[in-house]
Amino acid sequence: MSGLTHFDAKGDAVMVNVTAKPMTERLAVAGGSIVMQSETLTRIREGQIAKGDVLAVARLAGIMAAKKTGDLIPLCHPIGLDAVSIDFAIDDARSAVDITATCKVQGRTGVEMEAMCAVSVAALTIYDMCKAIDRGMRIGEVRLLKKSGGKSGTFEQA
């Protein structure tokens, strides 16, 4: 069936059996952005959001999301992550916060979904904490930037 691994010969959805795959070091890096009004960005930077330290809370939310990915994405394997990091870069020119998540594991399956889930939830947390002052924020560009390990080898976004 078209080479998709999450379907069996009958076309039914299945969780991929990874028991025969070797344990390898897996890494995934994902990125995304949340664009907002410049005043909102200034208030985040200066710690003037009533709900607290926006980026600290978003970092924790992203890490928690990576750990829960198997509960959120159907057919995604629940895995014990070895490391998750979330980094933020403020881009004044675009009035945006750029989010990067890095996930690592020694395992039989990749961590791309965990990294993208972490970025998405970190961005949603920023939106949630700032929506009282800026409902027009836009979350976007969530994408895999890099992955390594496993049979498919290394991928890097051009």
Q: Which residues are annotated as catalytic?
A: 128
CA angle 76, 68, 60 (to 5 degrees): 140
Residue 33 DSSP one-character state: E
**Amino acid identity at 32:** G
d(CA 109, CA 16) in angstroms, rounded, equals 10
Burial of 133 (0-12, 13-18, 19+ CB in 10 A): middle
Angle in degrees, CA 24, 28, 30, rounded to 5: 175
